[in-house]
Chain A
């Protein structure tokens, strides 16, 4: 799909996500806005997945490790045909399969359950290792938050991925510089991320995580470095697309009131490509 089409889809996902969080009265809107451009390129340009065969053994695997931004994933999956679009309005409602963190036993397209941070990368290493054992062509992608990278499990998995030479594995870090209560730098600084991953035996690229063309290029098969897992540090903004949320830590999980909702909606509508 062309970049301009992807931009239109991302804008639509942002608007639907905003509405869902507003109507449900809960969500993690800051980290949803930061990850939506990445999700859009993955689902509409990169991933070899089929909503009519969500368990096809040869499908690419994608794990949203920052599971608290499930709403953005649900909207993306609905946009991609894995879920009825109308179902998004059940987000967080009693007995809905769309709870606050994605559930692979109920939601087609979800590969593994996330919510506790620091689980996605180890599972993704196992997926990529399985493909390697089979000599299969499918690829594995995992998307984490930057605060999430403070979990030690990620670094155990990072070592394993390099040890196994998993060049079919791509880790994307949504580097929006904020976690739940403060900035990442002010809590437990990860910087500098690229040399850390390089020292762990990974190939690293840094991109603007809101630049659709840059995301496309970084995720292209040609970007594979033989014998090495790939880490993409995606520089993003928490609350991207909504001026008063952008880079403001309280919007990690704050819910817009009616007036803020209308303002945000208008901004996103004006930004429609």
Chain B
């Protein structure tokens, strides 16, 4: 047993970078919906009170105002709980942001099942499906604080809208400290040729732990961290299918329309191989914390390893 690794709330990395960006660029503004605390914008507000635009509890307005600020030359980071930001304002995201090509950074906080016991209204497990259906809106779910910081820096430099899916559930560091974010590029977290596990967000470290369990059973799993759900790294997926012959996806999202579906769309077209999709199994979750629910849905390291074992058995 290795010592337990330290866990980090990725929102802290996000706001540290946002504050550095704001210090360097007076056009950087933060827009929120009575979510200063939950978006960790207290420091931003204290330093640049006039550039913290709080529209109140009004997400449709939140996104529309963000689009207008971008039109007026600002660089808005629109921050709100992911469930309300994406669910409540989906049409604004489509028409005002993606279709209008507004240079707005949509930052969905506490995504997935981070709100745990607050229940399905507060879970954001449909956002990949909703947003990856839209053209002109990169969808990014970082796996640790390093990737969160890198993706936030990338967001500021990228000319166009995008969606950052951030969590509050503690995760260990997975990527090297000097990691640079590349849109639509998967990162190889572990080499292996018996199957490939593809994950992102809070699932990547669980996938790695599952790979350790599999190694003890003599199965070498390749692990890919696929933060960008759209545009997808087709090349890495096709290569993984060809070289390892089986793909297992893990996501903190419904199995309908998310990362697994996106990977399957590539696999069926280019390189059909046995595949399994792990995630929330298409139900409204029962009461429980995020980590409890992930375990419940077969997304514990042991659960992932078990699915991986069954998948490998299906290889020809």
Contacts and interface: CB of A to CB of B under 8 A. Distances in A.
A92 B121 contact: no
Nearest to A150: B56
A100 B117 contact: yes
B84 interface: yes
Contact of B121 (A98, A101, A147, A180): A101
B36 interface: yes
A227 interface: no
A106 to B, nearest CB: 9
Contacts, number: 85
Interface string A155-179: 0000000000000000000000001
Interface residues of B, number: 28
A187 B62 CA distance: 13
Interface in A64-100: 67-68, 92-100
A187 B45 CA distance: 13
Interface stretch (A42-50, A115-123, A207-215, A229-237): A115-123
Interface string B69-103: 00000000000000110011000000000000000
Given A147-B34, A179-B57, A93 B287 contact: yes
A117 B117 contact: no
Nearest to B83: A116
B50 to A, nearest CB: 14
Contacts of A19: none
B37 interface: yes
A269 interface: no
Contacts of A151: 57-59
A34 interface: no
- The prevalent SS among residues of A at the interface is loop
Nearest to B288: A94
Nearest to A149: B57
A100 B122 contact: yes
B174 to A, nearest CB: 28
B87 A116 contact: yes
A152 B89 CA distance: 11
A177 B298 CA distance: 44
A116 B288 contact: no
A63 to B, nearest CB: 14
A100 B289 CA distance: 11
Given A94-B287, A151-B57, A181 B34 contact: yes
A211 to B, nearest CB: 27
Interface in B94-123: 115, 117-119, 121-122
Contacts of B84: 116
A73 to B, nearest CB: 13
A100 B83 CA distance: 15
A96 B60 contact: no
B119 A188 contact: no
A93 B287 CA distance: 7
Contacts of B58: 150-152, 188
B281 interface: no
Nearest to A97: B287
Contact of A181 (B37, B117, B287): B37
B287 A99 contact: yes
Nearest to B54: A187
Nearest to B117: A92
B288 A152 contact: no
A148 interface: yes
Contacts of B35: 180-181
A132 interface: no
Highest count of chain A CB atoms <10 Å: which of B35, B36, B58, B61: B58
Highest count of chain B CB atoms <10 Å: which of A67, A96, A117: A117
B61 A101 contact: no
B286 interface: yes
B175 interface: no
Contacts of A113: 121
B32 to A, nearest CB: 9
Contacts of B289: 94
A188 B35 CA distance: 13
A182 B56 CA distance: 10
A101 B288 CA distance: 12
A114 B191 CA distance: 46
Contacts of A67: 121
B292 interface: yes
Given A100-B118, A181-B36, 4 more contacts: A115-B119, A115-B122, A147-B57, A151-B59
Interface of A: 24, 26, 67-68, 92-101, 103, 113-118, 147-148, 150-152, 179-182, 187-188
23 contacts: A92-B287, A95-B288, A99-B286, A99-B287, A101-B118, A101-B119, A103-B119, A118-B57, A147-B56, A150-B56, A150-B58, A151-B57, A152-B60, A179-B56, A179-B57, A180-B37, A180-B57, A181-B36, A182-B34, A187-B54, A188-B55, A188-B56, A188-B58
Interface of B: 34-38, 54-61, 83-84, 87-88, 115, 117-119, 121-122, 286-289, 292
